[in-house]
Amino acid sequence: MTHTGARWSFISFPGGGERLAALLGGHVDLMILDPSEAREQVRSGKLRVLAQAAEKRLPDFQDVPTLKEAGFDVPDVPQIRGVVGPPGMPADAAAFYAELFRKTTRTVAWQHYLADNQFQDAFKSPEDTRKFLGEFDDRLRGLLTAAGVKVVR
């Protein structure tokens, strides 16, 4: 299935709150949001989920197709979350926090947090995170360049 005739504009907002206000206020027609950002508005009927930008359907949205299922041939680009520290952070402090977060991701509370927000668990050590971010940056630059987007930095 091909989709033609649509004109898209990318509008950048400082955060999820501003994006959601623009959508609910009718200033934009559609938006990509985290499930947790839109959950209450979807439950109340103020927003409708059209498609999921995910490789597979999320548990809370089993009746909503993924973009690929809806006929859009787009690559899956995960939205990542992380915790960062300053460049000069002492190695022992970085190791302390890495271990603290590793332990946190093994708790029942963390599993509930993931489920409540429809997140996927993907804890990585600081070394693996650096490697992942380099690969992610390269992949994203390639996708954007292939789509004709001018990449400035």
Residue-level pLDDT, tens digit, the chain, 153 residues: 445 566 777 788 888 889 899 999 999 988 888 888 888 899 999 999 999 888 889 888 899 999 899 988 887 777 788 888 999 999 999 999 999 999 999 999 999 999 888 888 889 998 899 899 889 888 888 888 887 778 776
CB atoms near residue 129 (< 10 Å): 18
Backbone angles phi, psi at 66, to 5 degrees: -75, 165
Tokens of 78: 């995960």
Report helix, strand or coil for 52. Answer: strand
| pTM greater than 0.75 (yes/no) | no
Give the Å distances, CA to CA, from 52 to 10, 86, 88, 150: 18, 34, 39, 26
In which element (H, E) is residue 79 found? Answer: none
Contact status, residue 50 vs residue 56, Cβ threshold 8 Å? no
24: amino acid identity, one letter: L
Tokens of 66: 């993924």
How far, in Å, CA of 97 to CA of 15, rounded? 26
Which residue in 80, 98, 81 sits closest to 89, CA to CA? 98
How far, in Å, CA of 150 to CA of 17, rounded? 27
